[in-house]
Structure 1
Amino acid sequence: MPEIPPQGSAVFRLVSEIPPPVRHATGYEGFVRSLAEQRADAHALARDLPALLRFLAAHPDIPGDSALLRASAVFFGNALVVLHPRASWSTLAELEVGTRTRSIPVEHAVRMLIEHPERHDEFLEMLQTWDQDDEDDDELERLHDFEEHQQTELHLPEEAFRPPDLREQVYLDDAGQPIPYGDHDRWPDGPPDDAYERLTHQERFAPLQIEVDALVDYLARTCDVAVDHASAADGSRTITLTPAVGSPVRITSTPTGVIVRAGVLYEGYFPPCTCDACNESATTVAADLESALLAIIGGGLREQYPVGRKKWTHVALTTPGGGSSSSAGPLDPALDTRKQRSELRARLAELPDGRWPAWPHRGGTPA
């Protein structure tokens, strides 16, 4: 095993110098001697994890002997590798055994399992889902690679969208200097820690409502779509766009941002975060909003469910210019009933490869 790097440091290697995965670590001999003294079968315990956990719990003195604890942890880690063929050893802050989806610090785990035998069942149940997590991660990786490398042509109206002038207000800091909202190079060395908790001048996003109106007018003029407007007592507006073909869109506009819901799974927030560290302006957010809506109406929205044995959702968006973004995760609890899951499967099954078609244009279908 390589040495554990000092805290705060990193080790860089050329790809050609990366060693093969460590599947068996040495340093467990002291624990094996202890087993022999107590007439315990090391080979049997290495292949029977519940029995190994019971043996550890029956010896609460192990954590008090640092050398024995270390040897026990290495033996325990090797047993995990036997149990999970894709696992290997790594050295981070301490010795760990894991895969891309899960990593177990072995000394910490041994200490916890000795001191808390009531958690043995919980630990063993966690191990039972490890294979599933790896397989689901593989499937999501394949989907991400597919989205990144495929060539998706968006079918947009012949008339290009012309962004409106948002006429953003200039805000001053305590020294009377203009705050450079929207300048993502504002902090070359990274934003200060307190900037993540500051939410100054949230009203700077109010001009996004001008962008929303311009986009809705553009879509109503160029696409075969029905538009419905509604207002709420809190000042927010909801605009529902229902095309003759393609993904419906619901836009909720407030003085501090915009939420776009499309298809059956997509939900986009503009801005996604309003803290000072993100340093967004109405203009930068408007560009992202425009890109997302044009992607949806152009046939760039792809939704899939279920993904993997864990039955996650996967949503991908191909934007104008060839960019793409995707997200994956558990199904929204609001949809997680048997009837709704069945309806979701059926609805997405109607779409070729989960992709929503482009909206038809006024005067004809998409080019």
Structure 2
Amino acid sequence: MHEAAETLLDELTERYVVDRREAKEPVGPEPGAEVVRTVRLVPRSPAAGPLSIAFTDFPGVVLRLGRWFLEPLPDCGCDDCGEDPALLVTDLRARVAAHVEGGLWERVRRGLTSSWLETRLIGSGLRTSRQAPIEAAEARAARREGFAAPVQWAPWPLRAP
């Protein structure tokens, strides 16, 4: 997964107008693995959503798209699950392609007793949506930043040929 993710990041950096930042910060709750390093691509258009890939010592990756879409690859990693590395790479590329083409939608929704975050990712052959509870402080911050209404991230700007 590390090699495939590194190749994908290099391709994205060459094709799109983005700033590339490297650190050793997690992108979210890591599933029992320590982060070796994190690469974050931030489009120079503020309407386009960021992308982060955390490389774990598993060796796997954790993909973060926009503000809340989080996907560990592989999801489990135990021998019984036997996740196919080729399929994981295909999933990684499909999710990233949907995001850079403007297919990620996010928002915070208020409930009676708490708030929820919602994400939808739609791309070629891909349609996934998720809901999860969100802490009150993060929900307030997200609403201040415009996430009370649905936010659809714009496509990433292409580099001039």
| TM norm structure 2 | 0.81
Q: Unaligned 5+ residue runs, structure 2?
A: 26-33
Q: CA deviation at 1:343?
A: 2.0
Contact 2:35 2:54 in 1 (8 A): no
Q: Distance in 2 between the 1:305 and 1:328 partners?
A: 9
Aligned to 1:210: 3
Aligned to 1:315: 119
Structure number with the bigger relative contact order (C-alpha 8 A, sep ≥ 6) is 2
After superposition, the Cα gap between the structure-2 partners of 1:287 and 1:238, relative to the gap in structure 1 and judged at 3 Å, is same
Q: What is the alpha-carbon root mean square deviation over aligned residues?
A: 2.3
Q: CA deviation at 1:230?
A: 2.9
Rg: which structure is higher? 1
| TM norm structure 1 | 0.38
Q: Unaligned 5+ residue runs, structure 1?
A: 1-207
Q: CA deviation at 1:231?
A: 4.9
Aligned to 1:184: none
Matched, 1:244 2:44: yes
Letter of the 2:160 counterpart: G
Q: CA deviation at 1:250?
A: 1.6
Q: Distance in 2 between the 1:235 and 1:273 partners?
A: 16
Q: CA deviation at 1:360?
A: 0.6
- Structure having the higher helix fraction is 1
**Deviation digits for residues 62-101 of structure 1 (CA, Å, limit 9, x no counterpart):** xxxxxxxxxxxxxxxxxxxxxxxxxxxxxxxxxxxxxxxx
Q: 2:14 aligns with which of 221, 236, 257?
A: 221
Q: CA deviation at 1:235?
A: 7.0
Aligned to 2:105: 302
Tell me the matched-pair count. Answer: 149
Q: Which aligned runs of 4 or more in structure 1 are off by greater than 4 angstroms? A: none
Q: Distance in 1 between the 2:35 and 2:63 partners?
A: 17
Q: CA deviation at 1:306?
A: 1.5
Q: CA deviation at 1:314?
A: 0.9
Q: CA deviation at 1:262?
A: 2.4
Letter of the 1:354 counterpart: V
**Deviation digits for residues 119-174 of structure 1 (CA, Å, limit 9, x no counterpart):** xxxxxxxxxxxxxxxxxxxxxxxxxxxxxxxxxxxxxxxxxxxxxxxxxxxxxxxx
Q: CA deviation at 1:347?
A: 2.1
Contact 1:306 1:345 in 2 (8 A): no
Equivalent pairs: percent with the same residue? Answer: 27
Aligned to 2:160: 363
Q: CA deviation at 1:325?
A: 0.6
After superposition, the Cα gap between the structure-2 partners of 1:280 and 1:344, relative to the gap in structure 1 and judged at 3 Å, is same
Q: Distance in 2 between the 1:327 and 1:265 partners?
A: 10
Q: 1:272 aligns with which of 57, 60, 75?
A: 75
Letter of the 1:216 counterpart: L
Contact 1:305 1:348 in 2 (8 A): no
- Structure having the higher strand fraction is 2
Q: Distance in 1 between the 2:132 and 2:23 partners?
A: 31
